[in-house]
Each structure stands twice: as structure tokens, then as C-alpha cells.
Structure 1
Amino acid sequence: EEMARGLKKSEVLLLENLRFHPEEEKNDRDFARALAKLAEVYINDAFAASHRAHASVVAITEFFDEKGCGFLMKKELEVLGKVLSNPERPFVLILGGAKVSDKIGFIKGLLDKVDSILIGGAMAYTFLKALGYEVGKSPIEMDKIEEAKFILNEASKQGVKVILPSDHKVVKNMDEKESFSIVDNEHFSSEMIGVDIGPSTVEVFVKELTKANTILWNGPLGVFEYEAFSEGTKRIAETVAFSKGFTIVGGGDTVSAVNKFGLAQKIGHLSTGGGATLEFLEGKVLPGIKALER
């Protein structure tokens, strides 16, 4: 408090990670009041934390008459808000990453807004398993098989095209990264592990993306951290980067992939939010946004 009072013009006081204090995640009012004593105006520019009901995000706003959002938060809300309210069609959603469970609500929230969904990454194997395919030792969420079936069924009812991988880059051992092979869905044996989408799938995805006027991408399409398994994610990243449509990339791993391939400057909007982006596009009211409105 003394340091805050002693700040000179243009000086900044940066606090340590507030999650070191248990009161932060408990949304503790007394802790928030103590933080509020350090300033006269509250600005939240942490969109990525706005889905968390924490003391520095929610409770603190009660102690400020003057409060608002920063420029980054404003841009996130404008861009993602347009995706929800009035996306330019055709709208293609690309989904990857590890878990179906992280994206179920997100998919359901966007089903009536998208024209097609391209699914790759580890989460594709849960969908392929739901359709009865052998996926070997690839990671799947058995408790989400029924959800996957429901999503596929709802998409079909609403005329949304869902495109799953038709071929895969696979290994028998993750330690033998150069000993991969390409197999289609019919020849995926029980000892194989899927590590990337295959070349035929890449071409199908690329063809679909060239039609799009809006593209939203969340989740890498393979284990892109390893060069041998990065081709699918790289080709899709290049297609998204040079798309004629408006492009949005969200999620830490996906943004990392785009940066790795040197394409970040060519993306329309790189969303800083992981869970916050998913929850916002799911249609949820983020606690940090709601707190600024009261």
C-alpha cells in the first residue's frame, strides 16, 4: 500500500501472481477490498481470466465507482461477439486438441451458426470410436462416446457437415518418431497410436477451408511439437493464414503452433483466451464481464 501511494507519474507497480494467495481463488471480499485500496480506477484487460470468479476479477469491482475493460478485452468481445451474432458464411470450425470433454458445450453452442466442422487431433478418435472404427491405442474418452454420437446426430439434423479424418499418421511407439506409417480408417490396427491427420485428410480439410468466409480454429491437429508429426497442423495453419475469410485462432497450443510456423501476423485475430474463449462462444456470461456491468 505504501509503495502504491509513493508511485510517481508514469511508474507502474506490478504485483506477484495473486493465485499464490488462497483468497484470490475464493473470490474473498476482504482480500479484494485490500487490493482495491491500491488504486482509484479498475481496468480488467485479462480476458483469459474473465471466466474465473476470482477476487481480482469479480469481488474487486464492488469497491470501484470507475471501472471498465482494457483495449485487448474490448477487441476480444467485439471479435468473438460477431462470431456469435453475425458471422459471415460459410463459417468453418476447426477443432483439435486432446479432449472432447473440454469442447462439448462449445460445439453445441455453435452448431446453429457453423456450416461445417473439421475435427482432428486426439479428440477425433473419440468421434471415430463413436462411429465404430478401430482407433488402436489412440487416446479416447470412453465416457464421452454418447456425447460424440449426440453431436454428430444434431449436426446432421441441422445440416452441418462434420468432417473427420479419413487417414492418419500412426506409430506403434511414441519413442520411435521416424517410424511412422499412413493408414486409413479401415486399416487402423489395435497396436497403433494416431499422432497426426494424414495427407488425404489434409487435402479434404484444405478444400473445405478455401470456401470459408469465417474460420475459427481451436486445438492442434496432431502432436505438432515433434517435427515428424507436425505436417497436418502446419498445412492447416498455412491454409488458415492465407484464407480470404476472417480468421480467428484460439487456445494456447494452437496459438503456439501458429507462432512456431511464423504465421501469427497473417491471422485475423489471435484470441488470448483458452477456457474464456470457449465459454464465451458457448454462450455463457463470463463472471469478469458481468462484474464490470454492475
Structure 2
Amino acid sequence: MSKNNSKSYSATFLFLVLISLFLLENNNAVVSASQCDPSVFNSTSAPLKQVTNASSQSVTISGTVNIKDGCTFTVDKFIYFFAFPSSYWYGSNSIDPGSVAVAISDTSVKQYDIATPVDFKLKDGSSFSDFSVLKLITTQNDFVIAYAELRHSPTAPPNSNNSNQIGSGGKPSSGASVIIDRNLIKYLMIGVLFVIWGHFNRFNLTDPAILEQNRIASQLGPCPKGGYHELRSHYTNGTLFWAFCLGLPRFCGYSRKKTVCKKCNATFEGVHFPEPGHSGPYTSPPPSQKQQQYSS
């Protein structure tokens, strides 16, 4: 491996490490994946607080969240009147409506117009240790309806007049709650690493025959009678990367470069170029063929 290739691989590896660390360190509001244990929990009680904004004014919601066991929580005296469709419980590490929240229960929260206790179970891969704030979010309208602070989270109150409030018309503003699934985060991280890897390494995996062809063609000078040399560069990153990139050839590993010369690329100046993918020899053609390029 050449020094240039070694430097390129080292730079690529370092860049991938830095990207990975960035993604991992900047997910403080993202719930980490862990499995709940019914026998492991801290008894906690927290009131539901409605997030006041233009979109939730028609809703009446109240109750007290109690952790029943390590995998179940109960909302005592639960009232959810004029319920929004597609309402689900999410976990977050901030009471700010604009913070990242991850689904922690698969049970849709329907309308409860009589104060009654309702149990909800955590979904697989969720644990109370992963989040400090429980949020009720409508995924259809994408905003936070109410929250319960299970553990102290030092963040500005969600009712404050800031950019994270929902704008008029029921649509979230630029700071509206971001809803991210664990699998989506994982796939995004893998995708970013693959794309970066392919972008750097496509310049290292090159057909030796084409490299030699390019080198020879570059020394031949201009072609007479309108002919031109064809300089081709073929990069490949393997089947897995091609499948991931879904056939985006320019970006994912296949590139072709041309000069303004051709027709003389086979015999010009007595040099015979092999087809890409085949090694030499680079020989002079028979004398009778040396002028064929000018008559074709």
C-alpha cells in the first residue's frame, strides 16, 4: 500500500471515529435502548401537566403518573377529554417541547372522560432508567399534549413563550418536538458511516490496468485528425455498498473521466491499450494497423 493510500485510509478511519463520537455524544435527549425489569424500579409519582398552546386549548387532560413496577406505569384519576388521534407516550430527558422524544409504549391513548386509573406497559427495549420525562404526544399533529416529570430536568418550562411553541393552525414550528425511533437512529448512524466510507475509499480501489492506461495516454500528446484518448477511471466499493446506495453510481463508487481524444487510443504512437480489467501487455500493433485509426 502506498503512502498516499495509507494516509487516505488513516484519515478515513479517524473521520469515521469522530463522526461516531459526535453522534453518540450529542444524543443526550435521545432515549438509550435498554430492557425493563419488573422488579427493578423506583416508586415515583408525578402530576400530568398540560402544555398550553394554540393547538391543545380544546383538550382537557389531568391525572397523576405512578410507576407501578419496572415495566408498568399507571395514570391515576386520568382524564383525557377531546383526545387527539394517534396519541402515544414518549420518553424524553427534557420538559422542553422541542426536545427529542422516543416512543416507550405501543398502546394508543384514547379518550378518558371519567377519572379512572389506567395502566400502560413499556414497549420492548424501554426502561424507566432511560428517560426522566414522560410525554403524551400526538403523532398525527406532532406536538406535545402533556408531560410528567418523573425526575428533575433543569429545562425552561414548556409554557414559556419561545420558539418551541406550536404556531397557529396546529402545525409545529421549527422547534416542535422531534420524534425519533431507536431503529431510525441506528440506521441513520450506519448510513452516515457507510456513505463517508464510500466517499473516501472510492479513490483507493481502482483498476490497475486503467491506471496504467491513463498514465500511458497522458504521455501521448494530442491526437491528430479529431481523434481523442479516452481516460477512464473505474472505482468499486463492493456489492454491499452498491446495494446500500441503491444504484447512485456517481456518488457510490463509479466515475468516468474523459479527455478530448479517442479513436487513436488503441494504436496511437504504436501503443496498444488492453481492455479494462485485463493486465498488459502494452505492445505495439503490427505496422499495417498503425494507420487504421485515421481511416475509421
Higher relative contact order (CA 8 A, sep 6+): 1
More strand by share: 2
TM-score (norm 1): 0.23
TM-score, normalisation: structure 2: 0.23
Tell me which protein shows more helix as a share of its residues.
Answer: 1
